[in-house]
């Protein structure tokens, strides 16, 4: 399919503005304070913008996100009060700077682990090291025998353990189905175990080279069965043993929000800049991805006054930690003519890492190694960053 004239024109216009925006986001002033009046002056050149975009300014936004997390159970996970307060902060800052702000609500499958435990024969296994509750696992506490399901031991190639209904004998009813990673999805294995009457399920890593550590995964959708993943060593040790498995989870549909702040331009072209705003449940997410969210917010608020050729649209995505859900919802619901206006998209995730390295993606596959060329426009973005 050929590109439309609007898409090509949008891409040309957008790439024309990439250099200034990329410079402001990737070369923030590390030590010097911003000159007076940055909030009120017209930052209409790269040099002026770079003077005003500082680490100090980014840190102020990160501190605000930290305080929000501190006041909301220590995190900013989508579907929680911490995320809602984070979105409200971005809206407040962007509106105060004079940007055009919109929000987009969407539903998503919320999942949270409240308690998890695994023990056998006096051994208490360690969550995160020996085992991990599968995303979308149900809740339950069961003490039963771990019944091996068509295991491939010693490991050789792949395993079809639990992939077929015929793998399960009547003996698994009321017991814990012990399965091995391989071939089919974790969701298929767990669903087959539930259909066979199992009271719980354990899926251990396959045991082949590079696949022996604790298994952390997702069932893909909520399932009314406690399911955990384990390392290969733990899983094989549990064969035919009496095991106590406990999971307490919250799995429900919740609503969260994408936030957009826009600087209208003088042409049809749109340059998008985005970062996910949500954290994981385990912490405040001040690097992942408070750093990216704060960086683009600092640039957005200082870029509100100068005239720009293309519209610059900043996006703060919700539910990224559950699978890019906010960004995917936006693209799936954007009219084709609006999608065609977007010439380029730049994503900023974890830009505060202390062990950073500066690399450029091979957008046009010029080295003919790894993944093929990216979407149209990737080569132009690569050229700007090089």
Same domain, 177 and 287: no
Query: What's the pLDDT band for 377 if we cut at 50, 70, 90?
Result: confident
Q: Which one is catalytic: 116, 262, 298, 320?
A: 320
Phi and psi (nearest 5°) for 46? -60, -45
* SS3 assignment, position 142: strand
CA 366/CA 369 separation, integer angstroms: 8
Asked if residue 227 belongs to a domain, the reply is: yes
Give the model confidence (pLDDT) of 58-88 as tens digits: 999 999 999 999 999 999 999 999 999 999 9
What pLDDT is recorded for position 20? 57
What pLDDT is recorded for position 251? 92
Same domain, 235 and 128: yes
Same domain, 236 and 259: no
What pLDDT is recorded for position 33? 59
CA 31/CA 385 separation, integer angstroms: 23
- Indicate whether 14 pLDDT > 90: no
Asked if residue 340 belongs to a domain, the reply is: yes
Same domain, 128 and 229: yes
Instruction: Determine whether 320 is an active site residue.
Output: yes
Same domain, 141 and 236: yes
CA 307/CA 260 separation, integer angstroms: 19
**Higher confidence at residue 266 or residue 329?**
329
Q: Pinpoint the alpha helices (H) of 227-377.
A: 232-237, 290-302, 325-332, 336-341
Same domain, 235 and 261: no
Mean pLDDT, the chain, integer:
89
What pLDDT is recorded for position 13? 44
Phi and psi (nearest 5°) for 80? -115, 170
How many domains does the chain divide into? 2
What pLDDT is recorded for position 5? 45
Same domain, 127 and 189: yes
The CATH number for 219's domain is 3.50.30.30
Same domain, 206 and 281: no
- Which structural domain range is residue 149 located in? 122-240
- Indicate whether 156 pLDDT > 80: yes
- Indicate whether 38 pLDDT > 90: no
Query: What's the pLDDT band for 24 if we cut at 50, 70, 90?
Result: low
Asked if residue 298 belongs to a domain, the reply is: yes
What pLDDT is recorded for position 48? 76
Report the candidate in 201, 206, 356, 216 with the shortest Cα–Cα distance to residue 287.
Answer: 356
Same domain, 258 and 194: no
**Higher confidence at residue 377 or residue 274?**
274
Asked if residue 339 belongs to a domain, the reply is: yes
Asked if residue 377 belongs to a domain, the reply is: no
Radius of gyration from C-alpha coordinates of the chain: 25
Asked if residue 383 belongs to a domain, the reply is: no
The CATH number for 12's domain is 3.40.630.10
């Amino acid at each position: 399919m050929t590109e439309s004239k609007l898409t090509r024109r949008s891409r040309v216009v957008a790439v024309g503005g990439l250099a200034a925006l990329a410079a402001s986001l990737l070369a923030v002033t590390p030590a010097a304070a911003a000159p007076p009046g940055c909030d009120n002056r017209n930052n209409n050149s790269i040099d002026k913008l770079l003077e005003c975009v500082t680490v100090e300014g980014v840190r102020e936004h990160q501190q605000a996100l930290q305080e929000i997390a501190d006041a909301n159970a220590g995190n900013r996970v989508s579907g929680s009060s911490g995320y809602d307060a984070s979105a409200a902060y971005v809206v407040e800052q962007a509106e105060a700077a004079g940007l055009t702000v919109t929000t987009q609500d969407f539903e998503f499958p919320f999942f949270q682990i409240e308690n998890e435990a695994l023990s056998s024969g006096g051994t208490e296994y360690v969550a995160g090291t020996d085992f991990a509750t599968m995303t979308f696992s149900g809740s339950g506490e069961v003490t039963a025998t771990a019944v091996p399901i068509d295991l491939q031991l010693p490991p050789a190639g792949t395993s079809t353990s639990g992939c077929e209904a015929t793998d399960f004998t009547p003996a698994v009813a009321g017991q814990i189905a012990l399965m091995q990673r391989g071939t089919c999805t974790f969701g298929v294995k767990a669903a087959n175990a539930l259909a066979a009457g199992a009271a719980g399920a354990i899926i251990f890593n396959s045991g082949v080279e590079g696949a022996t550590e604790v298994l952390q995964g997702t069932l893909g959708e909520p399932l009314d069965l406690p399911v955990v993943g384990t390392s290969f060593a733990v899983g094989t040790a549990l064969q035919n043993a009496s095991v106590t498995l406990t999971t307490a989870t919250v799995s429900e549909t919740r609503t969260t929000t994408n936030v957009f702040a826009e600087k209208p331009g003088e042409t049809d072209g749109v340059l998008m800049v985005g970062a996910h705003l949500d954290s994981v449940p385990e912490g405040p997410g001040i690097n992942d991805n408070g750093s990216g969210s704060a960086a683009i917010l600092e640039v957005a608020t200082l870029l509100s006054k100068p005239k720009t050729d293309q519209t610059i649209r900043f996006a703060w995505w919700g539910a990224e930690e559950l699978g890019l859900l906010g960004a995917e919802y936006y693209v799936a619901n954007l009219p084709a003519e609006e999608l065609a206006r977007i010439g380029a998209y730049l994503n900023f995730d974890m830009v505060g890492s202390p062990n950073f390295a500066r690399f450029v993606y091979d957008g046009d596959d010029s080295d003919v190694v790894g993944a093929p060329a990216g979407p149209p426009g990737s080569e132009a973005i690569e050229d700007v960053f090089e």
